[in-house]
Amino acid sequence: MEQMDLFDVPAEPTGPVLNGMYYERSTDMFVSFVKGRRHYEEPAKGCQHLKEWQERIKRERAI
């Protein structure tokens, strides 16, 4: 059993916090981030979004 420290403040993130939809090259998936945490994934193959949207996200928001 471990006692929690209620007054412990988490460290500030060192890099930018991701928010929104991104394209992850390594997994070939569209990934949604909320406050820096992975929220939702969708494979690029068979994606239901418009082709124009997919190409824009791949070009502008690839990680």
Is pTM beyond 0.75 here?
no
pLDDT at 57: 93
pLDDT at 43: 93
pLDDT at 27: 93
Q: List C-alpha distances in Å: 35 to 30, 32, 39, 55, 63.
A: 16, 10, 9, 24, 16
pLDDT at 15: 75
Question: What are the per-10-residue average pLDDT scores of the chain (63 residues)?
Answer: 76 78 94 90 90 94 91
Of 44, 43, 38, nearest to 18 (Cα)?
38
